[in-house]
């Protein structure tokens, strides 16, 4: 089944109205037999579709398909003009991988969204659960003149852009967790993955990937995800994925342009305002060592500051977990 058919069928089916096989066949320009195959194809992607005898097909839960033209029309004109391209894929291994397959000179200001990922990734190779048309999966490429050593704070830039986009959508209570996560009342809401290539002294090409849990299916088992999670829908039932996509692009582009011109310094205050680790007792897996102490913020380079009781350590990488209480 082609990507175009998947998109059209998913967009045509409704939670409020039964669509007959005949009506679907007319909409898609195919046979009734093909309709059944296409419906089964959507079911394999995790979409719950009921067949009502004598009437047709109906969705069990609402489904909003990403609309390229709607997203482009909603963008600030300056942001829209600055994009090299915007593509919406039905299914990819991961949006980061899809964007990195472009020639490196074509990656700057290129954007890829996907409805589904077969190999969505988080930090340290963790799998990112990516059901079809439920969440927001996107990557944006950006060329930076900075030296490679100056780009370790890009995950923080991506996390802050995401936090601002969610705030514009009406979400409250979310916090950033160093270096690249967003939490909502202690549960993971979003993750960012940044991959960089280039010369040690610049220029460099960064691909910034973001996955946001917007409306996770009720059928998702807690065993499928290795940590407590939540979604935007739990607080904002009417949140539009297309509108959130607009906010994400505007905030990502604005943040990357600011970082390219001024470095991380302008972001330090915003991070401290949203810092969900500050004052918490944490453990940091730093590779060979496990460090324990109290998080006391970040420095002007985006590094985590850890008060061990004997000294304040400056950490540029590591896996953070709370020691006693959740955020």
Rounded (10°) angle between helices 21-28 and 3-12: 140
8, 80, 123, 167: the active-site residue: 123
Q: Give ∠ CA 313-319-324 in degrees, rounded to 5.
A: 85
Is residue 292 domain-shared with residue 260, that is, in the same domain? no
Assess whether 215 and 104 both reside in one domain. Answer: yes
Last residue of a domain, one of 18, 34, 59: 59
- CATH code at position 137: 3.30.930.10
Say yes or no to pLDDT of 218 above 90: no
Q: Is the pLDDT of residue 247 over 80?
A: yes
Active site residue 123: yes
| Euclidean distance between CA atoms 120 and 140, whole angstroms | 15
> What is the C-alpha separation between 86 and 185, in angstroms, rounded?
33
Q: How far is CA 224 from the centre of its chain?
A: 18
Among 297, 285, 310, smallest CA distance to 124 is for 285
CB atoms within 10 A of CB 116: 19
* Residue-number span of the structural domain to which 292 is assigned: 277-322
Angle 275-187-44 from CA coordinates, rounded to 5°: 135
Q: Lowest-pLDDT range, 123-127, 191-195, 230-234?
A: 123-127
Interval 130-183: pLDDT, tens? 889 999 999 999 999 999 999 999 999 999 999 999 999 999 999 999 999 999
Same domain, 285 and 259: no
Q: Is residue 256 part of a domain?
A: yes
Q: Same structural domain for residues 72 and 99?
A: yes
Rounded-to-integer distance, Cα 192 and Cα 128, Å: 10
Taking residues 7-30, what's their average pLDDT? 91
Any domain includes 302: yes
Domains: count for the chain: 3
pLDDT in tens, 82-123: 999 999 999 999 999 999 999 999 999 999 999 999 986 555
Question: How many Å from the N-terminal Cα to the C-terminal Cα in the chain?
Answer: 44
Q: Centre a 10 Å sphere on the Cβ of residue 260 and count the other Cβ atoms it contains.
A: 13
Mean pLDDT across the chain: 91
Distance CA 22, CA 78 (A): 44
Shared domain check, 265 and 297: no
Whether 327 maps to a domain, the answer reads no
For the stretch 51-74, pLDDT in tens is 999 999 999 988 899 999 999 999
Q: Are residues 184 and 123 in the same domain?
A: yes
Same domain, 41 and 93: no
Q: pLDDT at position 326, please?
A: 45
3-state secondary structure 174-190: EEEECCCEEEECCEEEE
Percent of the chain whose predicted confidence (pLDDT) is above 70: 92
Q: What is the pLDDT of residue 18?
A: 95
Query: Would you call 188 a catalytic residue per the annotation?
Result: yes
pLDDT band at 15; cut points 50, 70, 90: confident
Residues 54 and 138 in one domain: no
- For 102, the token pair is 């472009």
Looking at 35, 59, 83, the residue that finishes a domain is 59
Q: Are residues 127 and 238 in the same domain?
A: yes
CATH number of the domain bearing residue 308: 2.30.30.100
17 with 118, same domain: the answer is no
Half-sphere exposure (CA, 13 Å, Cβ side) for 70?
A: 11
Give the chain's count of helices (H) and strands (E). 9, 14
Given the residues 100, 134, 175, 188, the one annotated as active site: 188
Q: Residue 81 pLDDT more than 70?
A: yes
- Asked whether 194 and 139 are in contact (CB, 8 A), the reply is no
- Same domain, yes or no: 222 and 300: no
Question: Does the annotation mark 278 as catalytic?
Answer: no
CA torsion through residues 178, 181, 183, 188, sign: negative
**Rounded-to-integer distance, Cα 257 and Cα 56, Å:** 50
Count other Cβ atoms within 10 Å, centred on residue 228. Answer: 12
For 186, residues 6+ apart whose C-beta sits below 8 A from its C-beta are 228, 326, 327
Give the pLDDT confidence of 254-281 residue by residue, as tens digits.
999 999 999 999 999 999 999 999 999 9
pLDDT at 197 over 90: yes
How much is the pTM?
0.90
């Amino acid at each position: 089944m082609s990507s175009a058919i998947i998109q059209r069928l998913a967009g045509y089916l409704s939670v409020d109205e039964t669509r007959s096989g005949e009506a679907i066949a007319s909409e898609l320009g195919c046979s009734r037999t093909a309709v059944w195959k296409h419906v089964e194809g959507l079911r394999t992607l995790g979409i719950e579709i009921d067949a009502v005898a004598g009437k047709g097909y109906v969705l069990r839960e609402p489904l909003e398909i990403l609309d390229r033209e709607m997203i482009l029309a909603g963008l600030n004109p300056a942001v829209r003009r600055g994009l090299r391209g915007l593509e919406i894929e039905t299914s990819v291994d991961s949006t980061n991988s899809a964007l990195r397959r472009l020639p490196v000179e074509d990656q700057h200001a290129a954007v890829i969204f996907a409805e589904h990922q077969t190999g969505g990734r988080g930090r340290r190779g963790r799998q990112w659960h990516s059901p079809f048309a439920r969440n927001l999966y996107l990557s944006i490429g950006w060329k930076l003149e900075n030296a490679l050593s100056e780009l370790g704070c890009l995950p923080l830039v991506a996390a802050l852009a995401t936090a601002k986009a969610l705030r514009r959508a009406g979400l409250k209570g979310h916090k950033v967790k160093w270096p690249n996560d967003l939490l909502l009342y202690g549960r993971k809401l979003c993750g960012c993955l940044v991959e960089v290539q280039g010369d040690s002294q610049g220029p460099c090409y960064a691909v910034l990937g973001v996955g946001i849990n917007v409306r996770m299916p009720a059928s998702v088992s807690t065993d499928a995800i290795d940590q407590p999670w939540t979604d935007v829908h739990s607080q904002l039932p009417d949140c539009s994925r297309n509108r959130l996509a607009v906010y994400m692009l505007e905030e990502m582009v604005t943040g990357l342009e600011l970082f390219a011109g001024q470095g991380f310094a302008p972001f330090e205050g915003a991070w401290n305002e949203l810092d969900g680790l500050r004052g918490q007792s944490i453990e940091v897996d730093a590779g060979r060592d496990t460090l324990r102490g109290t998080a006391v913020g970040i420095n002007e380079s985006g590094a985590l500051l850890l008060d061990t009781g004997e000294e304040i350590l400056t950490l540029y990488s590591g896996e953070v977990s709370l020691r006693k209480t959740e955020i």
